[in-house]
Amino acid sequence: MFLSVFDIFKIGVGPSSSHTMGPMLAAARFLDALREGRDSVPGSGAPARLEASLHGSLAFTGKGHATDRAVILGLLGFRPETLDPDDAERREAALRATGHIDVPGLGLIAFDPDKGVVFDYGPPLPGHANGMVLRAFDAVGNLHLAETYYSIGGGFVLTERELEHRDAAPDPTPRPYPFATAAEMLAMGETSGLPIAAMKRANEGPGLDAGLDRIWSVMDACIDRGLATEGTLPGGLNVRRRARAIHQALLAERGTNAAQPHTVNDWLSVYAMAVNEENAAGGRVVTAPTNGAAGVVPAVIRYYRDHVVGASHEGVRDFLLTAAAIGGIIKTNASISGAEVGCQGEIGSAAAMAAAGLCAALGGTNAQIENAAEIALEHHLGMTCDPARGLVQVPCIERNGLGAIKAVAAASLALRSNGIHIVPLDACIETMRQTGLDMSVKYKETSTGGLAVNLPEC
């Protein structure tokens, strides 16, 4: 299945691509299904009442990720990429006052925002750890339509039917370089003589550069907002934003003897933390490849642009294209979902993407780029997903900073070699997949193990 650069990098809102963006999109899609009238129960009346149930990781960490509110906003017709926060707040208040949603094409439908989203803490649904069921009933209580959705990471949402057949559907658009593995990517590069970014560019549609520039613009603006904002993050952990104070201290040290050589790591960390503090606050971010790991790629691009000799705007585009190619391979052959394989699938994937992107922007060969991605991913294998209170804050915000540092180190190591290495990227990706399957569910975004249960009560 072809994954565009705009599938990997999607503009949305925090705090989670799988637990916020995905459920919002699923609820909006359910309204589309109701309007189209497909698969409705024969003999049932028009839809008059809605309800939703959350399962697996969506239930266990849904409160911390604002999954219930995401479903509410989706049923109000909002989608992550176009969400207007002020309009969302106004319409949610109106729903709470009336208990009805005025659905275009369907009219008034009852929905209780306090009781209409059920957190089911029983066994997860069979298709994926992030499952949800949306139901519509007619005026006398008969089921009108039920649909199961899976939020499979990075803002991707599939119905139960789509999940069952996702590998069977051919790409309707022929691609000149249809690589699905790193080995195929390297072979096609060798045959064509093209770098990875050029092959990825050839696979994409019209308007590519404008789209890439918009993605980077949103990422860059997110960093700037995070660097300029103070306060305490929502959710009850009372985590204070630190990016602004760290940034101010770094600016004050510039040009003085106080700056240590390792301060470059602080710059990488503060850029990443700025993004993930914004994400934790529900701000506008870009999945890279997820919200929980959204700070790694932007931080490394900002480092490239502002700190690296010879950086260029075209280099930023090549960075994004190369990173998306690596992200697509990982998603196709393993997972980018913390609920499925742990944080190795989120921060690990993001670090591999960022390492490959930086290596490409710095003129690395295809073999060096593949090596950079492998180094970064290899040293995140086994990383658990254990957010305290289900919030994308502890350890997630700092973890993005360390992921960015590892990505730069991996790119640098690869650039100082000839690209020949022991473990192929494909083998590392398969190892991540197997490790995720073997990992206990309590370490996969359920907040029932790890740091989430070992923090002292405050």
Tell if the pTM clears 0.85, that is, is over it: yes
Question: In the prediction, which pLDDT does 456 show?
Answer: 82
15: cis peptide before it, omega within 30°?
yes
Domain residue spans of the chain: 16-165, 182-452
What CA–CA distance (Å, rounded) separates 87 from 91? Answer: 6
Chosen CATH of 182-452 out of 1.10.4100, 3.90.1170, 1.20.58, 2.60.120? 1.10.4100
What CA–CA distance (Å, rounded) separates 56 from 67? Answer: 12
What CA–CA distance (Å, rounded) separates 184 from 204? Answer: 18
Question: In the prediction, which pLDDT does 169 show?
Answer: 62
Question: In the prediction, which pLDDT does 458 show?
Answer: 46
What CA–CA distance (Å, rounded) separates 385 from 222? Answer: 24
User: How many CB atoms within 10 Å of residue 111?
Assistant: 23
Q: What angle do CA 447, 449, 450 make, to 5 degrees?
A: 105
Residue 95 near residue 113, CB atoms below 8 Å = yes
**Residue pLDDT tens, the chain, 458 long:** 799 999 999 999 999 999 999 999 999 999 999 999 989 999 999 999 999 999 999 999 999 999 999 999 999 999 999 999 999 999 999 999 999 999 999 999 999 999 999 999 999 999 999 999 999 999 999 999 999 999 999 999 999 999 998 766 667 789 999 999 999 999 999 999 999 999 999 999 999 999 999 999 999 999 999 999 999 999 999 999 999 999 999 999 998 888 899 999 999 999 999 999 999 999 999 999 999 999 999 999 999 999 999 999 999 999 999 999 999 999 999 999 999 999 999 999 999 999 999 999 999 999 999 999 999 999 999 999 999 999 999 999 999 999 999 999 999 999 999 999 999 999 999 999 999 999 999 999 999 999 999 988 64
- Of 301, 299, 406, nearest to 343 by C-alpha is 406
Cα 84 versus chain centre, distance: 20
What CA–CA distance (Å, rounded) separates 206 from 6? Answer: 12
| DSSP codes, 131-145 | EEEEEEE-TTS-EEE
- Of 355, 362, 271, 356, nearest to 311 by C-alpha is 362
The dihedral region occupied by 447, where left means phi > 0, alpha psi between -120 and 50, and beta the remainder, is: left
What CA–CA distance (Å, rounded) separates 272 from 397? Answer: 8
Question: What are the tens digits of pLDDT across the range 254-289?
Answer: 988 888 999 999 999 999 999 999 999 999 999 999
What CA–CA distance (Å, rounded) separates 255 from 169? Answer: 57
Residue 408 near residue 361, CB atoms below 8 Å = no
Q: Do domains 16-165 and 182-452 have the same CATH topology?
A: no
Q: CB under 8 Å to 373, separation ≥6 — which residues?
A: 182, 326, 352, 353, 355, 356, 410, 425
What CA–CA distance (Å, rounded) separates 289 from 295? Answer: 10
E strand or H helix at 8, and its extent? helix 5-8
What CA–CA distance (Å, rounded) separates 172 from 362? Answer: 34
Q: Which amino acid is located at 23 in the chain?
A: P
Q: Which amino acid is located at 156 in the chain?
A: F
What CA–CA distance (Å, rounded) separates 130 from 151? Answer: 5
Joined together, the tokens standing for residue 53 give: 């149930």
Backbone angles phi, psi at 265, to 5 degrees: -65, -35
Q: What's the topology of domain 16-165?
A: 60s Ribosomal Protein L30; Chain: A; (3.30.1330)
Joined together, the tokens standing for residue 327 give: 């992200």
How do 49-56 and 130-137 pair as beta strands? antiparallel
Q: What is the mean pLDDT of the chain?
A: 96
Instruction: For the chain, count helices (H), then strands (E).
Output: 19, 9
Question: In the prediction, which pLDDT does 46 show?
Answer: 96
